[in-house]
Structure 1
Amino acid sequence: MSTSAHRRTPGPVLGPRHETFTLDRDFDESPASVFAAFGDPAIRRRWFALPGKMTAYHHVFGVGGTETARSVFTSLNAPAERLDYRARYVDIVPAQRIVHVYEARVDDVLRWASLVTVELHPRRPQGTQLRWTEQVAFITFSGDGSHDLPHLRGATGLRLNGLAAALKPANVSTP
């Protein structure tokens, strides 16, 4: 089955554009707890998701392990987009560092590839400072590409907000 009917026509080939951004977040939880939120499937699924309706997800946390996710994103007055995320873990130091590479595709077109380093630093008197540094190569731009980095940076910030929420104990109501 051909997928060309579902592909977007990418803009002119301008060559990759390289960007780097860093986001810092402070958490009340220990580095070990924040680290566990990356590897524990039940916690990970509470904060990691692609936009739209998830259609597939697989995660193996460990050096050489992979994470894949697929979803279909729909918005008003636009055709549905098929999103595909493929990552591989290249370095993990428990409660200290996670390094992974990933690629993002939209409708089977490679949009960007990234190298991400997540550092976890103890914060005094308690808690963790998380530093997310992402080095990205934008391959296929959205329009002129001027919104690609702000979009990725904003989406990453939202994901880290989700991590903060996932680390909080579930609200339990009593009768």
Structure 2
Amino acid sequence: MAEVKRLGSLGNVAAVQEALAQADAYKEMLEREAAAKAEAEAQHAAAEAHVGAQISALVEAAYLVASADGRYTSSESDRLVERVGALTENKFAADHLAAMANDAQGRASEGIDARAHAIAEILPDPELRRATLLVASAVAWLDGGVGQKEGLALQSLARAFGFSIDELHKIMGQAHG
């Protein structure tokens, strides 16, 4: 009889909440839901970090080519950010891309070959590597032609990515238009 009276009072929100709070199955369901939500958020954050690392590698490759001649001016930086932004359909804020280029500048002292191999590790997918060479080639063409040092930087990237020089030339041709 007491149970019937208690259920009769469930029309009251506070009483319903109290009854649910005492139901172990309901508590377990809420805990499972919270755990599933936390797992999904963690997976999403990991995926975003992975994509961010890949874009950073692409920006670094472009930086290595742009700075291969030993000078990297603020106008080159602006053009690199603008070009990479346009080529990635402006999915990344310009200040974020500029920060990636600045980070790349800090690692450049390791040398082009070491950085090219590090970029290759971040980009194991051949299509991402091809896209990265395409962007780096497009940056190399910004000044009207690919200089010897820029070409050598592109060759280093191509070797690290497992592409032949002939394949690099095809990619550079695509970048030139």
TM-score by length of 2: 0.27
TM-score by length of 1: 0.27
Q: Which has the higher contact order (CA 8 A, sep 6+)?
A: 1
Q: Report which of the two structures shows the higher radius of gyration computed on alpha carbons.
A: 2
The structure carrying a bigger strand percent of its residues is 1
The structure carrying a bigger helix percent of its residues is 2
